Structure 1
């Protein structure tokens, strides 16, 4: 084993240990309607799009899959100003839910996702202090880059194809800069934002054992045992991706939310998990 492979294996044993949550990503057909839905429920507060990225002189590069199975295209350009986002953000407790509007159909893989499955959560984005090494590790494990935005050769954000079990992509960014931290703190101080603490996602899968084995092979730790929840009608077991719990659920019987989601949308995220101070309220 050469030195590079040894370093990758060392990273694999600690994958996610230095990650912090950036956002939970949802592709939607109607951004404003989605934001209004969560705000009308009294759950989330619309805090607008992400702020503009500061200008950095140099060369930018953007690679993305045209389809969910590949056909990559890469554009390079001279950076000449700020980059703006067209998404909308719903602040649900300490969780930033990114609502990214797309049109169903050809053009980019997220549009194809929307056409096939409808609106839904398809990625979770983390900030990593070792984003380049973590990306290299996951690519070496067979997780192709589906989206990769760089400036001067450094990652701004990427999407890694971890959809094999659970149909969920992992997105990585470098550590948040001061401007982003200030924006997030401002969102949390909004008087209508509740005090919920985001803990993880429930992900419907058809084969729980194979899913856990896959994520362990990528380097995500778990000491959890497979359990059964008769009331919710599912088997479940989790792994930790940084601070976020991925609770994988396989239906037990046909009469459950997990079974219904699996039948109607296939594998994927079907619930957000929060810790609240007063469950009855």
Structure 2
């Protein structure tokens, strides 16, 4: 799940099925993004304290995210069924609702429509044709989640944009995932639909739990312990940093195999809701 550079636009990551290359956001961009969030919250709500903001917005209804699902395929290859799309939406709601473990983030996803596009070049080379694909297919505004499925690759399973980037590059907003990573797909160890859960975490404002390793500010969330490196495979226990707390190896924003992912934290829930209020609710 490494950050990818696309000209001016930095992607959330690309979840990998093989050993990582370490090209995540980097310290300077992490600090810049967290600083931008604090400044935006302060300007809009008079506070950058996410706990205080969460309390003031507590009476509001849960965040319901409309989803536009774009199945890009090449003939029969990658032509996902409506059932597969609905199962992925159900998986998102279970994960973000805390039904796999962890907390209820108070985020839900509602399928607003899905379509299929038979375009071989887009399907086989979604990175190369990302701009054209999104310009033709993307629907809705800053609060609409556009998911695109294609053959992302054998090493990289998906990538996403951050909410901070919407204002500058609105047409590039969205999440692209490998069609084989959906629930029941052929990618063993990565076929429970958690690639989408992870990538959408970036779209909602979350960083990797291992961001910047043991170096502050990490991912900027106070209840995800520092982690020196991504989790590999299915570890049950690690403690790789001198700061307090065991590595969050089962967190959806780490790199473990799908069967070992199961939770978001309360702090991540607050970060999602703060990022939504700052960037996507307007």
TM-score after normalising by structure 1: 0.27
Structure with the higher fraction of residues in strand conformation: 1
TM-score after normalising by structure 2: 0.26
Structure with the higher fraction of residues in helix conformation: 2
